[in-house]
């Protein structure tokens, strides 16, 4: 989570002290963007048809990778990483540039302002329910409200409310070679078998999501056609029958949570 420029670091990071995350066992740690540029680099590689993954090496923070959705009417960056540098900007410009950024939830806000400025101040779409977690105010941020928001032809943000109140997925109607795709971050967490997803309020602290929230999320995505689900880490994707996988996973999860009192 990047904070506004100051002479000294904040006393604490609210994202770290929130019950969904944790403070490093060695204590709160800080780094500047320039320091990060000296020690790390981004790699770009394909993650699916029309999708390029962007991840930082060595692993930084929680290690997620972003996704560049490549489209004729303007590329969109889904989720974000902390590092942006000249090499990354040049690589993305070679792929058609960037017209907008959309982020699933606060754990991936990272360096969103720097990313926007690197591409001329493109808009960054965050759900308004998570407004208090944006630690670096900037005119580039668009706090959207309601349940859905179109950000391009065939691109729709859907508020699911999992993990955070504004937890969002991106539906891409033409994704997966026209079969439809959902870019889920870890709102729908693609698990290691890559045939299911899971739903958690907190992943590191193993706090499950409330059943009513999951049912609401299912209602939100039900009208949308999609076959693939792209998660938040390299290759953690469901390549086909993704919609069925989400609903099948929810049925399993809800059954187990409802049955937790059985002896």
pLDDT digits (tens, 9 = 90+) for 171-182: 999 999 999 999
What is the average pLDDT score of the chain?
Answer: 96
Provide the residue ranges of all domains of the chain, joining segments of one domain with +: 14-258
How many Å from the N-terminal Cα to the C-terminal Cα in the chain?
A: 43
Q: Can you tell me which residue has the tokens 């029309």? A: 50
Torsion of CA 252, 193, 172, 243, to 10 degrees: -30
Confidence label for 258 from pLDDT (cuts 50, 70 and 90): confident
pLDDT at 238 over 80: yes
Q: What CATH number belongs to 14-258?
A: 3.60.15.10
In this structure, the strands spanning 124-127 and 100-102 are: parallel
23-80 per-position pLDDT tens digit: 999 999 999 999 999 999 999 999 999 999 999 999 999 999 999 999 999 999 999 9
> In terms of Cα–Cα distance, which of 53, 56, 94, 102 is closest to 76?
102
Coil, helix or strand at residue 54: strand
């Amino acid at each position: 989570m990047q904070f506004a420029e100051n002479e000294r670091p904040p006393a604490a990071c609210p994202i770290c002290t929130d019950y969904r995350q944790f403070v490093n066992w060695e204590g709160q740690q800080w780094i500047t963007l320039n320091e990060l540029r000296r020690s790390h680099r981004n790699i770009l590689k394909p993650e699916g048809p029309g999708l390029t993954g962007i991840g930082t090496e060595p692993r930084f923070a929680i290690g997620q990778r972003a996704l560049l959705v490549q489209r004729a009417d303007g590329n969109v960056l889904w989720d974000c990483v902390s590092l942006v540098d000249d090499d990354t900007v040049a690589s993305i410009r070679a792929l058609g540039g960037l017209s907008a950024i959309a982020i699933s939830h606060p754990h991936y806000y990272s360096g969103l302002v720097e990313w926007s400025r690197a591409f001329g101040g493109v808009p960054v779409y965050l759900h308004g329910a998570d407004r208090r977690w944006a630690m670096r105010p900037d005119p580039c941020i668009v706090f959207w409200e309601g349940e859905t928001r179109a950000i391009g032809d065939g691109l729709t943000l859907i508020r699911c409310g999992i993990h955070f109140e504004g937890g969002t997925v991106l539906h891409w109607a033409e994704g997966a070679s026209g079969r439809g795709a959902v870019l889920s971050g870890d709102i729908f967490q693609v698990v290691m078998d890559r045939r299911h997803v899971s739903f958690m309020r907190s992943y590191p602290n193993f706090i499950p999501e409330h059943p009513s929230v999951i049912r609401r999320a299912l209602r939100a995505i039900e009208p949308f056609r999609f076959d693939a689900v792209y998660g938040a880490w390299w290759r953690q994707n469901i390549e086909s029958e993704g919609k069925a996988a989400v609903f099948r996973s929810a049925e399993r999860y809800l059954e187990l949570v409802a049955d937790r009192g059985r002896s």
